[in-house]
Amino acid sequence: MKNYDPLSEAINNLQQRGYTCDFNLKPECLGFASIKIVIRPVDFKSG
């Protein structure tokens, strides 16, 4: 795995590879503002 410095280099690389969804890590959830989705820990299933 490549280490990126600065963070913008990593974001640019991911966008070039086709990743389009931007999420924000919040204390209580992951937020996907562009598609109006919130994912909380209880939404994940364990093994």
| Tens digit of each residue's pLDDT (9 = 90 or more) over 2-45 | 898 999 999 999 999 999 888 899 999 999 888 889 999 999 98
In a domain, 26, yes or no: yes
Residue 39 resides in a domain: yes
Residue 13: predicted pLDDT: 94
Tell me the residue type at 16.
Q
Residue 14, domain member (yes or no): no
The strand ranges marked E within the chain are 24-25, 30-32, 37-39
Q: What is the pTM of this model?
A: 0.55
What is the span of the domain harbouring residue 47?
A: 21-47
Tokens of 32: 């996907």
Total structural domains within the chain: 1
In a domain, 41, yes or no: yes
Q: What is the pLDDT of residue 39?
A: 94
Q: Is 10 inside a domain boundary?
A: no
Residues 6+ apart with CB under 8 A from 34: 21, 22
